[in-house]
Chains A and B, each alone.
Chain A
Amino acid sequence: MSNPTQPVGPGLPETQTMVTDQVVPPAQEGQRKGKQKGGKPASLWTDAWYDLRRRPMFILSLIIIAVLLVMSFWPSLFTSIDPFNARTCDLSTARQLPSAGHMFGKDNLGCDVYARTIYGARNSIVIGVFTTLITALLGGLLGIISGYFSGAIDVISSRVTEIFFAIPPILGALLIAATFRGRANSIMLVILALALLGWPMTFRIMRAAVITAKSQDFVVAAKALGAGAGRIMFRHLLPNSLAPVIVVSTINLGGFIAAEAALSFLGVGVQSPDISWGLMIADARNRFLDAPLPLVFPAVFLSITVLAFIMMGDAVRDALDPKLR
């Protein structure tokens, strides 16, 4: 016989003395320190979830983000006024103070500030989410390839990201958005401009996480089994490197929303008649001293939104980082 016999159950020798079907928490063995002793069996994610549920900061940001999502998908739930309908504006009531029918008052063109603020959420969320998705996919994919293969691919892509890092992000986005202004949908342009400057961050995080995960024994074991590069990258490295990318992406999402507002404020972002908080702030700027409210309301919404995502990212990072436990 040239091959070992089939490893099948019935041939178990009688001398087998092990009783090993009970499962104990791993804290009983290995070099764990006292602090973790007796921690119930849990993976990184279930542990993090347990931790998150007990953080008021996380719950608060979750509620805010949920409300914002509802607001951007179904704005008509919050207001009966349609701000895209020009007839809802009335120049003669410009800069009117809040009243029963118009709780945030009216802006320079006599349009309802509350309705515009509610409808403005959609563009902020859309731009934030899509920019984040693109940066996470692009940066993540390049990061995993670069981290896994190292060598020339890694050297080249790392130098490229360094060049991107040297560009001040708002200035770069301003340049791109201004150059291609009018040639594409303004919202898409903002997303592309921000994504182009945002991916190097995700790339770096993913690359670092992959390099750490790559040296682990289970990757060596997979290679010894004959696993190919694709299987190692997507079955073994990706699930073990995802946590930091998720954290950074959540924090970045808030940053992208703020950047969109800045670009719109500067006139190269979202264009009228589309509505965006940045645009509203820009429009209200000229008469800020005698009518501050049309600027204050979108600014407050913007700050709360950005803060909610950053708070959530912070909470997730604390929950996922075992060193902080």
Chain B
Amino acid sequence: MSSSERVLEVRDLVKHFPLTQGIVFKRQIGAIKAVDGVSFDLRKGETLGIVGESGCGKSTLAKVLMALERPTSGSVTINGKDIAKARGSELKRMRRNIQMVMQDPYTSLNPRMTVGDIIGEPFEIHTEVAPKGDRRKKVQELLEVVGLNPDHINRYPHQFSGGQRQRIGIARGLALQPEIIVCDEPVSALDVSIQAQVINLLERLQNEFDLAYIFIAHDLSVVRHISDRVGVMYLGKFVELGKDNDIYDKPAHPYTQALLSAVPVPDPEGREQRERIILQGDPPSPANPPTGCRFRTRCWKAQEICAEQEPLLQIRPGTGHESACHFAETHDVVHAG
């Protein structure tokens, strides 16, 4: 693909939250390194899945991409402009191009506003997008696009089920016709039988409007289904980044291998023989990450070099995609055993 198709370029993105002590005279005693050097590209119409466990920084990454948090350093370039440096009306204009769908359909909609007000709010903020007289019609069209009854425009969020509310949130994200939508755990709060409906809707909208998705989730099978490429995050960094088949069938980083092997397979056949890598302990605190490779404290391959030298995210010998491990080696954990 040519570089002109890139809609989002993220370079060396860092977000540290300072830890302070004292109330009046604050002094910094450290920092939570939530995102610590992340780079990737996103092309038009593409889906980049981001997986990782809680505390790995994936939600902070989403907030920085949405310019809801200012990065400590690094750039987030959308169509040639850095949203991280944009201010005022320029930032507002840039927001039209990147929107989000949030995790919790119960708290992401204002309970005091009607569905029409919620989906119409983007037009009230960006008045240039639709003239006042057209807005109601636009809202009804959006409701129809996400599979809701346009006659329900005057209802309140509590009159809808979780799955329907998530559709309302998606309609709100679509209103400004963005090129990029950041989906932060969009189906994890929904019932199993409703998840598939919402995933299908997201895929249909992607095809229809040529949307690019950043799809953040902890459910690895959902991410595989929807993503073209997948990035695996651990303690604020990508440890592995590649095409979905590379990541799932030929994982090279030990953490990815452990993560994949831990996912329960919905098929009891041969479960006694299945190979399981069970990691010991919990991830270290992002305020004080280990030196060198951040995964070394839980890694079975760790050697001295891992503590001394940080492995960079790059294509390693014998693997076809980028990984950040000195001893990267592909190993099909899912189909093994």
Instruction: Give me the interface of A with B, judged by CB distance under 8 Å.
Output: 1-9, 11-13, 15-18, 20-21, 23-24, 26, 28-30, 41-44, 216-218, 220-228, 231, 235-236, 239-240
How far does the alpha carbon of A292 sit from the alpha carbon of B214 in the complex, in Å? Answer: 79
B294 at the interface (CB under 8 A from A): no
Tell which of B187-195, B222-230, B284-292 binds the partner.
Answer: B187-195
B110 at the interface (CB under 8 A from A): yes
A residues in contact with B174, CB < 8 Å = 7
Are B108 and A23 in contact, CB atoms less than 8 angstroms apart?
Answer: no
B residues in contact with A29, CB < 8 Å = 161-163, 190-191, 194
Are B107 and A218 in contact, CB atoms less than 8 angstroms apart?
Answer: yes
B residues in contact with A222, CB < 8 Å = 110, 121
B residues in contact with A218, CB < 8 Å = 107-110
Contact status of A42 and B179, CB under 8 A, knowing A5-B208, A220-B68, A220-B102? no
Are B158 and A7 in contact, CB atoms less than 8 angstroms apart?
Answer: no
Residue of A3, A26, A221 near B160 (CB, 8 A) is A26
How far does the alpha carbon of A218 sit from the alpha carbon of B109 in the complex, in Å? Answer: 5
Which of A26, A41, A236: most chain B Cβ within 10 A?
A: A26
Are B208 and A20 in contact, CB atoms less than 8 angstroms apart?
Answer: no
How far does the alpha carbon of A240 sit from the alpha carbon of B107 in the complex, in Å? Answer: 12
How far does the alpha carbon of A240 sit from the alpha carbon of B147 in the complex, in Å? Answer: 29
B100 at the interface (CB under 8 A from A): yes
B47 at the interface (CB under 8 A from A): no
B172 at the interface (CB under 8 A from A): yes
Q: Mark B102-126, 1 if CB is under 8 A from A, else 0.
A: 1110111111110000000110111
Are B167 and A20 in contact, CB atoms less than 8 angstroms apart?
Answer: yes
Those 5 A-B pairs whose CB atoms lie nearest each other, nearest first: A21-B149, A4-B209, A217-B108, A239-B112, A29-B162
Q: Mark B185-204, 1 if CB is under 8 A from A, else 0.
A: 00001110010010011001
Q: Report the minimum CB–CB distance from B197 to chain A (whole Å).
A: 6
Are B102 and A221 in contact, CB atoms less than 8 angstroms apart?
Answer: yes
Q: List 29 A-B contacts (CB under 8 A).
A: A2-B179, A5-B209, A6-B177, A7-B174, A9-B145, A17-B197, A17-B200, A18-B147, A20-B148, A20-B197, A21-B149, A23-B152, A28-B161, A29-B191, A42-B158, A220-B102, A222-B110, A223-B68, A224-B66, A224-B68, A224-B99, A224-B100, A225-B95, A225-B99, A226-B125, A226-B126, A228-B125, A231-B125, A240-B112
A residues in contact with B167, CB < 8 Å = 20
Give the number of residues in B that approach A within 8 Å (Cβ atoms).
64
Are B161 and A26 in contact, CB atoms less than 8 angstroms apart?
Answer: yes
Which of A29, A220, A231, A235: most chain B Cβ within 10 A?
A: A29
Q: Report the minimum CB–CB distance from A66 to chain B (whole Å).
A: 28
Q: Report the minimum CB–CB distance from A37 to chain B (whole Å).
A: 14
B332 at the interface (CB under 8 A from A): no
Are A227 and B125 in contact, CB atoms less than 8 angstroms apart?
Answer: yes
How far does the alpha carbon of A155 sit from the alpha carbon of B296 in the complex, in Å? Answer: 43
How far does the alpha carbon of A223 sit from the alpha carbon of B149 in the complex, in Å? Answer: 27
A residues in contact with B149, CB < 8 Å = 20-21
B residues in contact with A16, CB < 8 Å = 147, 204
Contact status of A217 and B107, CB under 8 A, knowing A4-B178, A9-B145? yes
B9 at the interface (CB under 8 A from A): no
How far does the alpha carbon of A89 sit from the alpha carbon of B169 in the complex, in Å? Answer: 71
Q: Which residue of A lies closest to B204 (CB)?
A: A13
How far does the alpha carbon of A245 sit from the alpha carbon of B175 in the complex, in Å? Answer: 34
How far does the alpha carbon of A235 sit from the alpha carbon of B189 in the complex, in Å? Answer: 26
Contact status of A7 and B68, CB under 8 A, knowing A29-B163, A218-B108? no
